[in-house]
Structure 1
Amino acid sequence: MSLRPVLETRSSTPTLEGAGVKLHRAFGFQDPSELDPFLLFDDFRNEHPQDYQAGFPWHPHRGIETITYVLAGTVDHSDSLGNSGTLGAGDVQWMTAGSGILHQEMPEGNPAGQMHGFQLWGNLPSAQKMTAPRYQDVQSKDIPEVIDDDGTTVRVIVGEFWGKTGPVDGIAADPQYLDIQIPPGVKKTLRIDTYRRAFAYVFEGQAAFADASQPTGILLEKEVAGQEVNIRDMSGNRTLVRFGTGDEITVQAGPEGVRFLLISGAPIAEPVAWHGPIVMNTRSELEQAFRELRNGTFIQPAH
């Protein structure tokens, strides 16, 4: 077994998206090879309805897949193909935009006004850029959850883990998407396929990842994977941890425990031409997509 080194830890950045939704972006619109096949990751978490209710009105996508995971509140969605529905707490939607889709996503808070969810963008390989669009809406009750003897809990959204397989399938990047909760003070080693790019996103509590140059701070010194690591307090959570190659990670939960997403996927390793919500392989393909948006031929006829 080989421990994956931590290449980088960084805090997500406040930004505005859609019609003025306040969110935090962990990565996106920078170097698309950094976490290939993933392009962007947003954490939309708000306590005040005025910060999110304007939502994400009608907008296009082509050449990518968007993965929306809701933790609190709801998201109403509808699209140019006539689909509509509501994602509730714990639900997931995996949308394959393929050849092109227009859709809108409108968040609504829970009774306390809280809204929390994540959106991840996955790239599509050139052979699937113009595939027919599709949705996979998965209810929380259909997502398997496994609990280890030490109290570690894992929701398996996509991929296989600890003998359970997530309900979302047929995804180009062959990803693994896990929601992991580790109790206070527990040290855990988790397997990841060697050939996948991988990152963790800490969103509750604190933890230290082995071999981290800037661990995502617990407040005392701990030994992780046989090494003394310098643990320091970090401001808040919303921390991205980007891993190098290897087949496992080791994480030490802090005094309040930790909850994080662990996401990995097979790199596509193709050229990326990207502008806004459209991601193609060449500049000419990108220009064609925007021409079609202007002249009304963006939505491809069903075959």
Structure 2
Amino acid sequence: MDATHDLPVSNGAQVRRQVFSTRGSTHGPITRLMSPSDLGRVLKPFVFLDLFDLDLHDPRAGFRMHPHSGLATITVITDGDLRFDDATDGTGHIGFGGFEWMRAGSGVWHGKELSGGTTPRAQGFQLWIALPADLEHAPVDSQYVEAGHVPAVGPAHVILGSYGGARSPARSPEGVTYLLIRLAGGERWTFTPAAGQTTAWLAVATGALGGHAKAQAGDLVLFDHSERAILLEADNQAGAVFVLGAAAPHPHELHLGSYSVHTSNEALAKGEANIERLRQLLVAAGNRRTASGTTPMFSGDTRPKTN
């Protein structure tokens, strides 16, 4: 994937060109499409992407508790739903169009805060974005946003940022747009990025795209660095469900830990030291599993979340 580090710059084409695609690597119900050590260095602030298809009714399935610092995670559901049970956000379900936003900032342990919903399985994407320097050690912040509270512009649900006059309720950094899009068979739609958003990609959950952005279910597609529009056309038979990200490039080199992404070695060391401190507190706290089967994320901060 080293060849993708210098993506072509558009030289006059009226639409943005597809320059690279990958199907990642699949292990059981999870396909890793992007990691901070490979495509994340090209697409930063977008640094990680998993496509998952899980049965969280099975206590043996899903994610184990793990730490983060310096980044934010965004989970969107493309089919089915998951249940959340949170002291601040209450109880509800995240289905198509809803999302979980979690800014790890200075450090957090999480991975068990969602459980099985009303459907046998849930498919979706988990994305990480690298935080800017002024937020990489900010307090942890999380939101569970049900679909009815997420604005839509045509076929696109605005998960992060703003698009077409609609703004996501996510408390995310400026300069990042993340959309969940569903096109019917043969439907066409044009994505026009904001000024400066020269980094762009999409990943397909189900169905297929044709035309200028050809992609099948399970594909991650990168576009050239430009501010051109992206023309999207669903396959006549299958239609398509996919996510699309666009942003101004992250201005820092990535400094990586096992689950952390920071802007410098000093910031990384600070984040990982806090993660270890939290690990010791988490062990001392013992079993924190709720009656609904979830385990709340752990930041060591007992203050109420920002509303």
Match of 1:143 in 2: 150
CA displacement at 1:54 relative to structure 2: 3.0
Structure number with the higher strand fraction is 1
CA displacement at 1:266 relative to structure 2: 2.0
> Are residues 1:290 and 2:272 paired?
yes
CA RMSD of aligned residues (A): 3.0
Letter in 1 for 2:108: I
Question: Where in structure 2 are there 5+ consecutive unaligned residues?
Answer: 1-12, 282-298
Letter in 2 for 1:241: V
Contact persistence 1:158–1:166 (CA under 8 A): yes
Match of 2:231 in 1: 250
Match of 2:221 in 1: 241
Corresponding pairs, count:
267
Q: How far apart in 2 are the matches of 1:182 and 1:104?
A: 31
Contact persistence 1:64–1:96 (CA under 8 A): yes
CA displacement at 1:274 relative to structure 2: 0.8
| Residues 172-219 of structure 1 deviation map (CA, whole Å, 9 limit, x = unaligned) | 252212122222223332211242111111112111241x6xx32xxx
Contact persistence 1:67–1:121 (CA under 8 A): yes
Match of 1:191 in 2: 192
> Are residues 1:62 and 2:69 paired?
yes
SS, match of residue 249 in structure 2: coil
Q: Which moves more between the two structures, 293-302 or 88-97?
A: 293-302
Match of 1:43 among 40, 45, 51: 51
Q: How far apart in 2 are the matches of 1:114 and 1:248?
A: 35
> Are residues 1:116 and 2:128 paired?
no
Q: How far apart in 2 are the matches of 1:181 and 1:301?
A: 38
Contact persistence 2:54–2:62 (CA under 8 A): no
CA displacement at 1:95 relative to structure 2: 0.9
> Are residues 1:161 and 2:141 paired?
no
SS, match of residue 196 in structure 2: coil
Letter in 2 for 1:8: F
- Tell me the TM-score normalized by structure 2: 0.75
Q: How far apart in 2 are the matches of 1:62 and 1:78?
A: 21
Match of 2:94 in 1: 88
CA displacement at 1:11 relative to structure 2: 1.4
Identity %: 24
Match of 2:108 among 71, 86, 101: 101
Pick closer, same or farther for the CA change 1:75–1:15 going to 2, 3 Å: farther
SS, match of residue 95 in structure 2: coil
Q: How far apart in 1 are the matches of 2:161 and 2:93?
A: 21
SS, match of residue 272 in structure 2: helix
Pick closer, same or farther for the CA change 1:293–1:96 going to 2, 3 Å: closer
SS, match of residue 263 in structure 1: strand
Match of 1:224 in 2: none
Match of 1:262 in 2: 244
Contact persistence 1:6–1:209 (CA under 8 A): no
Q: How far apart in 2 are the matches of 1:154 and 1:295?
A: 41
Letter in 2 for 1:246: E
Q: How far apart in 2 are the matches of 1:260 and 1:135?
A: 24
Question: Where in structure 1 are there 5+ consecutive unaligned residues?
Answer: 17-21, 148-152, 217-233
| Residues 219-268 of structure 1 deviation map (CA, whole Å, 9 limit, x = unaligned) | xxxxxxxxxxxxxxx6xx11111111232011222122222111112222
Letter in 1 for 2:20: E
Match of 2:140 in 1: 133
Pick closer, same or farther for the CA change 1:139–1:126 going to 2, 3 Å: same
- Tell me the TM-score normalized by structure 1: 0.76
Q: How far apart in 1 are the matches of 2:17 and 2:86?
A: 41
Q: How far apart in 2 are the matches of 1:60 and 1:84?
A: 23
Pick closer, same or farther for the CA change 1:131–1:302 going to 2, 3 Å: farther
Letter in 1 for 2:167: T
Q: Which moves more between the two structures, 154-163 or 129-138?
A: 154-163
CA displacement at 1:12 relative to structure 2: 3.3
